[in-house]
Structure formats: structure tokens, C-alpha cells
Amino acid sequence: MASFLASRALLPGGWASDVLIEVDAAGAISAVTPGHRGPTGTARRLPGHVVPGVPNLHSHAFQRAMAGGAERRSPAGQDSFWTWRETMYRFVGRFSPEDAEAVAAQLYAEMLEHGFTSVAEFHYLHHQPDGRPHADRAEMAKRHVAAARQAGIGMTMLPSLYRHGGIFGKPPHEGQRRFLNDVDGFSAIVEGVREAVAGDAQFAVGLAPHSLRAVTPEMLHAVAGFQGPIHIHAAEQPKEVEECLAATGLRPVRWLLENMPLDARWVLIHATHLDDAEVMALAATGAVAGLCPTTEASLGDGIFRLPDYLRASGRFGIGTDSHVGTAPAFELRQLETSQRLRDHARAVATAEQNPHPGRTLLEAALHGGAQASGRELGAIAPGLRADLVELDETHPLLLGREGDALLDAWVFSGQSNPVRSVVCGGKVVVEGGRHVKSMAILDAFTQAMRRLMA
């Protein structure tokens, strides 16, 4: 049992003062008492503004090691997502299981320090460098589970089904050999992960058919009945849309809408290039659009149609994908400001009932991210995970702000980090802005990076 007393906390009904948050032995919130005036016992005081921990709905952890290392102009000078992908293929061949675990732990510690308290790990780095499976097919996935446990972050592990190199059934690229499985090999990985996290409330398991470029319709139908989160990349790049049109006569999201049982289990990662009908139809399914704004900007993907999607009551969450950014505030900022650049407008993600874009974006990301994770989280309420982020109101970014105005300052002001403490599953994992195991995690990461860069 643990308890926390928040001076100010964002509850489902709005901001409240002197909020006692009680946590059970499994890490779930058992009671929330606003306006608490009685004894606090051993409750830990959180003197700042406390918000729910933010779910990160899309991560390829190994790419943290190459963030910032794929920026150099190519000799041809026509750089794009597709040339970046070639660099990624060359880099990915270097990873050992130990390297993968060390890099993931560093990433997850950084996420926690910035306010992400759960991660959906879209995991496709399955095999040895030559493409042969490890003796335990789930070895690499289990390394990410171990990294999450070391860092103390919640996780939805999403083993990725990846078999082909283009729509539908084209031969894979040589650089993809570590990713490839048939349905039986993939199922063995899923079962290995299930066993590794069984009974642990900090974990859930979903499936990730990689994309229409990587699986066939038959493979998609084989996994579509899964009763849990199903994540898939969709319509990230114009070239992907063109190839899908040429192969099927339909755009990628339209193909999914007409051929898959899209519902609240599904998460369409990126969904950048949608036409008017796809915007409306995707929103109506109850599926989540998984937006990764800093990565989408870095790779030149394009800009998601947020205003149209919100008008259609569409659900979205945020992820960090390639980890050129690891902070929820920066993802939300990039999401909003990209709309401003395109539309020559300001305060795009707002409504009359809530004129503050910081809170509007945060609450949408909390709800969509919780749905995408398949875990009970996303708010400070009984029955949900005790994932709390304390913002330091004395930090220079936030001085003089409170409530929704403070959230606007967090998202839209400066580059420093005003997160003071983080609680994940009822356990304190960040104190004074630093992860409680930061030194040990950094030491292993440093050794891994020296090997990878040698």
C-alpha cells in the first residue's frame, strides 16, 4: 500500500486541490479524495501540479541508438523516409540481445523522466543478424520486457508480424532479415511474451501486423480476431498510398476499412495521408490514430489532418516512434504547431468548452493512449494504474501559472523539463527530475553504444 497527497491534481472532473491518492498492493488506485483535510499518515506529498502519466503508444526502442545519426545528406541529395530506412537496415544488423536491452532501458528511463509512464513497444527486431531465430524465438522481445522492468515503466508488448517487402507479398529486402516470420514463428514469439509477463499488472500483450507492405491479406485475417490491441502502420508516406492503389485499387486506410474489422482494438499508426472519406470513416470505427509528430516531421512524412479528425470525434494518441524526441510535451507541441504552419492559424486543437490546447491535447492523448495500450490507465481515478506525473510549478517554464494555463506552458514553452517526480504503478521512479536508477542504466547504455559505434 502507498499513498500520495497532491497539492493540485487533474482529475476526470477537472482540477482539484489537496487530493489524497491511495494505491493498492498491485499498483492500482484504490481511492481518490479531493479536499483532504485529515491525517495523511505516510502519504508522500507531491507539492506541484499532478497529471496522469502519459501513454506512449508507438516505440521502436532500438532506434533510440541511431537518433541523430541518420541526418547526413546522401550523395544523391534526394533524401526521404526511404533513404533513412536504408540507413536503419544497415544499423540494425549490429544489435545483440544485450545491446537491445541496454538501449531500451535508457530510452524508457528518459521517457519516464519526461512524463511517459507506459510504452507500447512495436517490436520487430526478432532474430540474429543473419536472420536465424534465437534458441528462444522470443529472446529479443523478452529483453525489452526486462528493460521495462528495470526502468519501472508499464508496457504493452506488441510483437510484430513482418514477412514481405512490399504490397502484397513482394520479396523482403536483405536488411529486413532480422524481422521476418511466418505466422507460426510469430505465434511462438507471442506465446513466449505472454509467459514472460503473466500475472504482472504492469504489462499487456497485443499484436502488430507491421503494415500492408509487410503482411498479406491472409496474414491479417489470421490475427484480426485477436481480443486485444492490434497496431498497424498505415498511410505513412505518399509512396505507400501510390503502391497500395496500384496493387489493390484502394488507398491503405480504405483497404483496411473495407477488409478488416476495424474497431476500438485497432491502432493505425501515422495515418498521415487520408482523404475526406477516410477521415470520417476511420473516426467512426472507434479505432485510434497513433500519431508520432516529431518522427513524422523528422522523416518528412507529412501532417495529420487533426482538425477534420477531431470534428469527426476521432480518437488519437501520441508516440515517439524513432525517438528523435522522448517527451510527451514536445510531441503535443509538434502536433499542434504543425497544424498552425499548414493552416496559418493558432490554437487549432481547442473547442469552445476548453480554450486551452495544452489540456485538450493532453486529455485526448491520455484517453487514446490508454485505449491503444489495452491497460487500465489514463486518468487519476479508482481502478486505474497509479501513474502520476508531478510538474514543478516553481520551474522557470511554469512560474506564475496554474491549472490549464500551466499545461499550456508545459507544452508550448521552452525546451527544459519541469517534471519533478513520476510515480508508475504506485512506485516512485523519478525524483528531482532524475530516474532513480539513471546511473546504472546509463552505464550499460554507454557500453552498448561504444560497441554499436565501434
Among residues 72, 99, 97, the alpha carbon closest in space to that of 86 is found at: 72
Poorest-confidence range of 75-79, 94-98, 200-204, 245-249?
75-79
Q: How many CB atoms lie within 10 A of CB 356?
A: 18
Confidence of residue 311 (pLDDT cuts 50, 70, 90): very high
CATH of region 52-373, choose from 3.40.50.720, 3.20.20.140, 1.20.140.10, 3.30.70.890: 3.20.20.140
Predicted confidence band at 251 (pLDDT cuts at 50, 70, 90)?
very high
Domain with CATH 2.30.40.10 in the chain: 2-51+385-448
Separation of alpha carbons 150 and 208, rounded Å: 24
The DSSP string of 250-282 is S-HHHHHHHHS--STTEEEEE--S--HHHHHHH
Contact between 67 and 324 under an 8 Å Cβ cutoff? The reply is yes
pLDDT above 90 for 391: yes
Q: What is the pLDDT of residue 225?
A: 96
Could you tell me which residue, 83 or 67, shows the higher pLDDT? 67
- pLDDT at position 211 is 97
Helix-strand-coil percent breakdown of the chain, rounded to 5?
40, 20, 40
Query: Hey, is 69 helix, strand or coil?
Result: coil
For residue 349, which amino acid is it? A
- CA of 391: how far to CAs of 36, 325, 419, 425, 428, in Å? 20, 19, 5, 18, 14
Q: Per residue in 142-174, pLDDT tens? A: 999 999 999 999 999 999 999 998 898 889 888
Q: Is 270 a catalytic residue?
A: yes
Task: State the pLDDT confidence band at 76, using cuts at 50, 70 and 90.
Answer: confident
pLDDT given at position 270: 98
pLDDT tens by residue, 401-431: 999 999 999 999 999 999 999 999 999 999 9
Q: Which three cell numbers stand for residue 186?
A: 510469430
Residue 351 has a pLDDT of: 81
Half-sphere exposure of 3 (CA within 13 A, CB side): 16
CA distances 90 to 93, 439, 451, 452, Å, are 6, 30, 15, 11
- In this structure, what DSSP letter does residue 230 have? E
Q: Mean pLDDT for the chain?
A: 95
pLDDT of amino acid 203: 98
Question: What is residue 75's predicted lDDT score, i.e. its pLDDT?
Answer: 79
Whole-number percent of the chain with pLDDT over 70 = 100
pLDDT of residue 39: 80
Candidate list 99, 321, 387, 408, residue with the active-site label: 321
Cβ atoms of 134 and 100 within 8 Å: the answer is no
pLDDT at 345: 96
CATH superfamily of 2-51+385-448: Urease, subunit C, domain 1 (2.30.40.10)
pLDDT score of 79: 79
Nearest to 157 by CA among 121, 110, 113: 121
329-384 pLDDT, tens digit per residue, is 999 999 999 999 999 999 999 988 889 999 999 999 999 999 999 999 999 999 99
Q: Which residue has the cell 480518437?
A: 315
* Residue 88 pLDDT exceeds 90: no
Return the pLDDT at 170.
86
In the residue annotation, 273 being an active-site residue is answered as no
- Look at residue 252 and tell me whether its pLDDT is greater than 90: yes
Pairing of β 14-23 and β 266-270: unpaired
pLDDT at 94 over 90: no
Active-site hit among 270, 323, 367, 435 = 270
Q: What stretch(es) of the chain map to CATH 3.20.20.140?
A: 52-373
Confidence of residue 86 (pLDDT cuts 50, 70, 90): confident
pLDDT at 131: 94
Does pLDDT of 68 surpass 90?
no
pLDDT on residue 82: 76
